[in-house]
Amino acid sequence: MSYKTLIVKKEGAVDWVTLNRPDALNAMNPELVDELQDYFGRLYTDHSVRIVVLKGSGRAFCAGLDLKERSNRPDADATSGSPQSGLVAQRRISEIVMRMRRCPQAIISLIHGPACGGGFALALASDIRIAGTSARMNAAFIRIGLSACDIGVSYFLPRLVGVSVASELMMTGRFINAERAERVGLVSEVVEDEKLDDAAAPYIDEMLTTSPLGLRLTKECLNMSVDAGSLEAAVAMEDRNQILCAQTNDFREGISAFLGKRKPAYTNS
């Protein structure tokens, strides 16, 4: 993979993915949109990657869509042209968060500085969020004449913080800082900005001690259970997953490692 606006650094089963438009606070221009869509789309069948750490270069995580940059591409601007072309452009962006949820890898977002609009959506679509003390997040869309319901925000935010806080943030567009984000359960923890990479290490280490299939199926089942129509539907998915995992060599290795008080050596078999 060769990208211009993303840096992908591979460390074993972990991809460190950096949004790399620091001069624009990593705002999402058409090129970055395309590259994010391509990257997360490729992950669906790439089981060599187990964990993705998403971060931003420079002073921000992601300041949202790049309103200053205009492209000659006819589908680049969802606010101009026909409804048909607008929907094409809109779906190019919203497809990113759907691919983030569809891919089987755990996604950790390290958030510092602004995470606004589309950047907020990227953070919400992640599995785990860790905030730097400088983090400031908001549903910026409503502040420029649009609805705050965009790029999955209306789906993810109330499920993470409840309808009341989500309504407040979305109907006002106000910022939520790192301290409050931790208090309402939007992020797992808050650390100094320069310690964000280090803060991700324990999560990575602990997830790498799980079996590859077990981690993938856990994300899949969590996704489905959030919208399950009943307890029975969620339990049926859980039962299926456990039987699948129990048939693997990794399950036998996990039991052996536990009894032997050693770290498991999983082979994804």
**Would you say how long the chain is, in residues?**
269
What pLDDT does 144 receive? 87
> pLDDT over 70 for what percent of the chain?
95
Please provide residue 95's backbone torsions phi and psi, each rounded to the nearest 5 degrees.
-60, -25
pTM of structure: 0.92
Quick one: tokens of 213?
A: 């299939």
Q: What is the pLDDT of residues 168-217, one digit of tens each?
A: 999 999 999 999 999 999 999 999 999 999 999 999 999 999 999 999 99
Where does the pLDDT of residue 8 fall: very low under 50, low under 70, confident under 90, or very high at 90 and above? Answer: very high
Evaluate if residue 25 carries a pLDDT over 70. yes
Exposed/middle/buried for residue 35 (C-beta within 10 Å: 0-12, 13-18, 19+): buried
Q: Taking residues 232-261, report their average pLDDT.
A: 91
Please provide residue 233's backbone torsions phi and psi, each rounded to the nearest 5 degrees.
-65, -40
- Between CA 151 and CA 153 the distance in angstroms is 6
Evaluate if residue 72 carries a pLDDT over 80. no
Strand partners, 176: 137
Q: Do 61 and 112 form a contact (C-beta atoms < 8 A)?
A: yes
Asked whether the CA dihedral 264, 265, 268, 269 is positive or negative, the reply is negative
Q: What is the pLDDT of residues 32-67, one digit of tens each?
A: 999 999 999 999 999 999 999 999 999 999 999 998
Q: What is the pLDDT of residues 130-162, one digit of tens each?
A: 999 999 999 999 998 889 999 999 999 999 999
Q: Which strands make up the sheet holding 114-116, listed edge to edge?
A: 114-116, 136-138, 176-177
